[in-house]
């Protein structure tokens, strides 16, 4: 992989990771257009590893919140009187909500890295989940209305829905934010929960791929392009996080639906005419 390709893919990852438009879908499309074998184990590992840059952006952006949650959780474990704190409950919500993606991700890893890495899958998922996002917005609290507090049960449900995002084209943030809206959370709260749930999911995915596919990265994509793409994704993702939080405060997530549908239409057109191949 050339460095300019690595920079381009890092930008794609950073821009799309936290927007409800599917980072994996966009990376699959970009890799296909660059002539990379999207179903190659090395390319699949590269796609997972550069997400570490995006998750590092979340860790830096929400460092104060993360520190507060960690301290509250540790204190609550040893001091019963601390367990009434909302930060303690939120920490348990993040832990509980992260379990489903860990289990399903391991069980379905071959499916995700193989048959699902198809542009036909991406196109269908872009359209299908767009309708889910529309329904989620219609069921969400109206602007100015406060949503209800997050519970551990809510977090588990959102975590289960997050597993659907293993299908390229769905979007992890699109899945988790939609689930939060269906459960009655306000849009900003649902988005913050989505960010917090992304931390264990993306860290685990990046660490797993790094441990089991180091040799494949070395012999295919190469570590230098991987490092460059990861660094670029960090910078771009940091900006994307700040922008998305401001956007959802005053706009519905359905503002992304026309883009998702337009991209799906272009993708289907390219597949039908042979301009791009499915894998």
Instruction: Name the 3-class secondary structure at 167.
Output: coil
Query: Tell me, what's the pLDDT at 158?
Result: 95
The per-residue b/e assignment along 181-202, b for 16 or more CB within 10 angstroms, e otherwise, is bbbbbbbebbbbbbbbbbbbbb
Query: Tell me, what's the pLDDT at 177?
Result: 93
Instruction: Name the 3-class secondary structure at 207.
Output: helix
Number of other CB atoms surrounding residue 81 within 10 Å = 8
Query: Tell me, what's the pLDDT at 201?
Result: 78
Query: Tell me, what's the pLDDT at 214?
Result: 65
pLDDT tens digits, one per residue of 205-234: 777 766 776 677 777 778 898 899 999 999
Instruction: Name the 3-class secondary structure at 191.
Output: helix
Q: d(Cα 106, Cα 276) in Å, to the nearest integer?
A: 30
Query: Tell me, what's the pLDDT at 213?
Result: 66
pTM for the model stands at 0.85
pLDDT tens digits, one per residue of 128-147: 999 999 999 888 766 545 55
């Amino acid at each position: 992989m050339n460095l300019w390709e690595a920079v381009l893919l890092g930008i794609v990852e950073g821009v799309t990771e936290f927007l409800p438009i599917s980072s994996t879908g966009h990376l699959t499309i970009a890799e296909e257009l660059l002539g990379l074998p999207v179903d190659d184990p090395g390319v699949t590992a590269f796609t997972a590893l550069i997400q570490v840059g995006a998750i590092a952006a979340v860790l830096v952006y929400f460092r104060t919140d993360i520190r507060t949650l960690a301290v509250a959780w540790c204190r609550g474990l040893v001091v019963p009187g601390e367990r009434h704190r909302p930060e303690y409950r939120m920490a348990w919500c993040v832990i509980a909500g992260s379990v489903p993606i860990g289990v399903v991700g391991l069980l379905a890893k071959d499916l995700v890295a193989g048959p699902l890495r198809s542009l036909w899958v991406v196109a269908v998922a872009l359209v299908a989940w767009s309708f889910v996002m529309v329904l989620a917005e219609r069921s969400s609290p109206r602007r100015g209305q406060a949503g209800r507090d997050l519970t551990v049960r809510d977090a588990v449900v959102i975590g289960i829905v997050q597993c659907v995002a293993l299908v390229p084209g769905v979007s992890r943030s699109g899945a988790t934010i939609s689930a939060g809206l269906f459960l009655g959370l306000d849009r900003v709260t649902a988005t913050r929960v989505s960010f917090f749930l992304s931390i264990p999911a993306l860290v685990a995915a990046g660490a797993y791929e790094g441990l089991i596919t180091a040799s494949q990265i070395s012999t295919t994509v190469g570590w230098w392009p991987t490092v460059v793409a990861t660094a670029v994704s960090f910078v771009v993702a940091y900006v994307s996080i700040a922008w998305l939080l401001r956007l959802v405060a005053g706009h519905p997530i359905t503002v992304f639906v026309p883009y998702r549908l337009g991209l799906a239409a272009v993708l289907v057109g390219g597949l039908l005419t042979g301009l791009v191949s499915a894998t």
